Structure 1
Amino acid sequence: MMFSSNGDDSFRAYLNAGTENLDEILAAGSPFLTMMDSLDSYMRKHVSGPAVAPDELVIHSMLINARFLLMTAFRVGLTGHAAGVHPILRTALETGCYALLMAEDETQSLTEIWISRNNSPEALKACKNAFQSPIKAAQKIVNARGQGLGDWMYTLYESAIDFGAHPNAKTVTLHTRIIDDAEGFTQFENVGLYAVGNHGYEWGLLACVEMGLAMAIVLSMTHPVALEAATQELQALNNQKNALEDLIHQKHA
């Protein structure tokens, strides 16, 4: 069963259950929701909001797209679909890494290669060759700006792949239960949506905010000058993330 609230595993039941979770957490409030607000406020203020002058329009468009993908992951996570956040988070981070590589390219040829990707088979091949290992390349850039930050970002990227951004075992095994009951029957349960407050629900939200923090750092690096205010706000966001991680460990130990 997808969920056991009413025995209905239809698409409409899935939508209703997710909406109920979303409405519940929006009404009650949550430190996860607070951090999501803080992350998005940072993005709008320092990365791609109306007050941020674009350095280059293609790159700026990618920053906007990365932000919307992150918000989509937040929304999916808030519905309780923990496994569903990882493919979106992976794409959001990849978008940010592509933007960073373009911003660091003094010749600006990467931007032209990327935007011409679908013009011809030759252009497609050229784009694939130009972006062979974009996350690894971004890892080096981020490490050069802040020791260990690129390694942390890459670890999150690999975790997203492990937990749902690719059909690996953890994508399903972490949400599956096989239980032998006292009467000799075997019960198989696969959880599609976790209830608000459940450990699976909150671990999904933690994945969202941690990747969101990594993206905030990466996207900030696409701008040539790091403002002191932005650096201070990133540190405050990191403190929020650490507090949420401690909260989960205490609550679900």
Structure 2
Amino acid sequence: MTAGTLAEYLDATAEVSQGHAAAPPELMHLVHEMDAVFHREFFNRPLELTPVAALLAINAYTALLGAVREALSGHVVLVFPVARAALESACYAFLVSQDETRADIWLNRHRSTDDLKACRNVFVVDKAIKILQPFQPVMAEYVRGMYDASIDYGAHPNPLSVLSHIEATGPEGNDEFGFSLTGVQGCNSWHVNRELLVCVETGQAVAFLIAASVADHPFLNERAQDFEDWMASKNQMAESFNGAPIKYVGPMYASVRPPTS
């Protein structure tokens, strides 16, 4: 095996980042639209959130920005663990909003072995999904799909996260065949744009969870159509990017396929 050096990696990610700063990727406008939603709905108005729930919500947003940063660097596989962290933080905020006693369980996580066990038992994404299921079954499954897909595509080193970046390089010597693993994708590449779509889909789940953490938040009530229109607009752009209608279960990005030529 051979690999580039750290210096080469840093040069490559800096070059891709600078290229995207000069000429944004095709789907970057979706990311800016997402950011505008967060600021309009959550950061420009008072929110009835307890301190711990608010802290976890803002942590989810900043992690989401980190996922965008990874996509723009070209090291796209790292989008998934960061996006997963954003989604988990939003789920934790929602769990605390439903029961304020959970805040102390979260804060005391590292106090003792028993506290650690208690925290691990309470703060589970599936428990947030179960609370959502009775009154928001569609979004409950959306959150579940985003979380599961993040693990498949890069939050864990599963086949989809590794093999999708491998290319055959052909015969090399006697009885040998070469393969190349791409660590940094180029400017405006298919992978960069697909992972920006990942960030937007994760962001929609995060936005929903934050809104659901606030009693009667208008984004899920009198302005629920705005949320639905945002989802529909993203779906339309994803299908345009894909070049064909998408039949999918769970996150749309998991059904977007790279071009064959």
- Is TM (by shorter chain) over 0.5? yes
Residue 56 of structure 2 contacts residue 89 of structure 2 at CA under 8 Å; is this kept in 1?
Answer: yes
Q: Which of 184, 209, 216 matches 2:200?
A: 209
Compute the TM-score of the two structures, normalised by the length of structure 2.
Answer: 0.83
The alignment partner of 1:148 has SS state of: helix
Instruction: Determine whether 1:111 maps to 2:106.
Output: no
Residue 197 of structure 2 contacts residue 238 of structure 2 at CA under 8 Å; is this kept in 1?
Answer: yes
Measure, in 1, the Cα distance between the counterparts of 2:186 and 2:56: 33
Higher mean C-alpha deviation, range 203-212 or range 234-243: 234-243
Residue 35 of structure 1 contacts residue 237 of structure 1 at CA under 8 Å; is this kept in 2?
Answer: no
How many angstroms does 1:43 deviate by?
A: 1.7
Identity, in percent, stands at 27
Measure, in 1, the Cα distance between the counterparts of 2:26 and 2:233: 9
Report Cα offsets for 1:2-36 as digits up to 9, x if no partner: 9xxxxx82222222222222222232234522221
Measure, in 1, the Cα distance between the counterparts of 2:44 and 2:133: 29
Distance 1:17 1:54, change over 3 A: farther
Residue 79 of structure 2 contacts residue 195 of structure 2 at CA under 8 Å; is this kept in 1?
Answer: yes
**Equivalent residue number for residue 231 of structure 2:** 238
Counterpart code for 2:190: H
Unaligned runs of 5+ in 1: 3-7
How many angstroms does 1:54 deviate by?
A: 4.5
Instruction: Determine whether 1:166 maps to 2:156.
Output: yes
Report Cα offsets for 1:216-238 as digits up to 9, x if no partner: 11121111112156534322321
**Equivalent residue number for residue 189 of structure 1:** 180
Compute the TM-score of the two structures, normalised by the length of structure 1.
Answer: 0.86
Q: Which of 238, 255, 259 matches 1:252?
A: 259
Unaligned runs of 5+ in 2: 244-257
Measure, in 2, the Cα distance between the counterparts of 1:141 and 1:9: 47
Measure, in 2, the Cα distance between the counterparts of 1:220 and 1:239: 18
Q: Which of 136, 142, 155 matches 1:152?
A: 142
Measure, in 1, the Cα distance between the counterparts of 2:36 and 2:131: 25
Report Cα offsets for 1:152-202 as digits up to 9, x if no partner: 211111110011101222221111122425998633211111112322222
Report Cα offsets for 1:112-141 as digits up to 9, x if no partner: 11111112222222222333xx22122223
